[in-house]
Chains A and B, each alone.
Chain A
Amino acid sequence: MHKLRAWFLLPARLVNFVCFVVPLCIVLAYSLLSRGVYGGVEQPWTFENYRRLVDPLYLGIFLRSFWIAGLATLLCLVLGFPLAWFIARSSVRRRTLYLNLVMIPFWTSFLVRTYAWMFLLRDTGLINTVLLATGIIAEPLPLLYNNGAVLLGLVYGYLPFLVLPVYTSLEKIDLSMMEAAADLGARPITAFWQVVVPMAKPGMRAGSILVFISCIGTYLTPDLLGGSKTIMIGNVVQNQFTAARDWPFGAACSLLLMGLVMLFLRSDEL
């Protein structure tokens, strides 16, 4: 029995080791090496790449990434909680439908969903076209390629990440508890804060962490909706490995991202 189990786990262990653990170790090694003359890496070993992470140029990008990811998480929480509440309070038969309506667009193409916002927000996009045609504005509004567009794309992209866990914890709340609270003299708003919010906290925390780590590591959204104006850590990583040909620094940025993700995951366990 144990022998069979070992054989069953072997291919997965192999794939995970070769395609996840080893690559991360190589990135770790790269981050401690120097930039090669023609790209790639060279000796000597150095901590220089980590020191450069606090360069004002990059520090600004990192801080903005934090700020945008944090704000997107907050918005997802504020916008997603009522939706999760609505689904959890629907009749059991409708819940699956309502949940699927959130999850199905989520699982279809992320790229296409980001593109949809380009289509809407461009100077010649639908929103500007309509506003111009109706005479509300005379010049197209600069809707795309700014922080706001990135924020919108992130909220749109990751809202379901929040709705699902919050829904799961709200679904477990027995409504008779709200009634019991009312029976004991609590007003609805008090009952909500005293009963529902504490019960939903695990879901809210798990959902927020998922949204935050997805946003902080995002690449595609700022790339397409932020253009060259709003870049985030993910774009710095990509740029170092392609155009800038500074692999060691790109590797250091990657590990910074990994560190952040793991830090926030750990905070869920505490």
Chain B
Amino acid sequence: MRNGKWIAAYAAAAYLFLHVPLLVLAVFSFNASKFTVWQGFSLQWYAQIFENDQLLESTWNSLVIALASTVLATAIGTLCAYGIWKRKAPVLSGSLYLSLVTPEIVTGISLLALFQWSFRFLGLQLGMHTVILAHVAFCLAYVVITVLARLRTFDASLEEAALDLGATPWQAFRLVTLPAILPGVIAAALLAFTVSIDDYVITSLVAGVDSETLPMVVYQMARRGVSPVVNAISTLIVLGLGVLILVSERLQQR
């Protein structure tokens, strides 16, 4: 039984619904006019991105934060997934899963509460470090789930073979298990990077004066009103993240 005409037509409409808003956004980022009337092709809004110091600086911040938190979350999450794969850790797994479904706003304000409370004793302030810590915390669950999925397809006897041949547990992990699950680890890292660089809600709550990120600037610009520059930067974001996600999906299916 194949798909009928009606269901295919419906699916086409659904895909249009999912993709047209982004496509339209992209098309109008090349519009010569500031208004939503097509007046010819122009790259001026893209040029403006590179003249806007706030955008450039926040992009730099976002990249630094995303890179740092990706490296940390991937390292911690991969080790954690391996530990859970060896033997279940129900409390930790449950807590990680809960952190994944906790509304972002709740995660954000609870981290803010933590930082405000503990910084009274530590004499620290909100900044890059708090943002990175927050990002590591919420990226962790994504990494654990992705790496765990990969480990479930890993033949445990390979690791026993390594032990059998005289490798210590650590050597068995580093020389046999890790190379085998590497595609999953990279996929997890790409996913963590995407989740981190896109986050607005949590970041805006725990960021300090020196750590304004790209989504925060985009948000402010969007609040102020629609501007073709936002269309342009949005198009770049979607394209960039789309490529990362595509690569991540490919790696996970390999």
Contacts and interface: CB of A to CB of B under 8 A. Distances in A.
Q: A and B bound?
A: yes
Residue of A86, A118, A159, A251 with most partner-chain B CB within 10 A: A86
A124 interface: yes
A189 interface: no
A129 B249 CA distance: 38
Contacts, number: 243
Contact of A111 (B18, B219, B226): B219
Interface stretch (A45-53, A55-63, A101-109): A101-109
B200 A111 contact: yes
Contacts of A71: none
Interface residues of B, number: 83
Contacts of A111: 198, 200, 215, 218-219, 222
Contact of A15 (B35, B36, B137): B137
A48 to B, nearest CB: 18
Contacts of B230: 115
Interface stretch (B47-55, B121-129, B150-158, B239-247): B239-247
Contacts of B22: 105, 112-113, 116
A1 B173 CA distance: 11
A122 to B, nearest CB: 6
A27 to B, nearest CB: 5
A153 B137 CA distance: 27
A129 B24 CA distance: 13
Given A111-B198, A262-B98, 4 more contacts: A20-B102, A105-B22, A112-B234, A122-B226
12 contacts: A13-B92, A15-B76, A15-B137, A27-B106, A27-B109, A108-B238, A109-B238, A111-B218, A112-B238, A115-B218, A156-B21, A261-B102
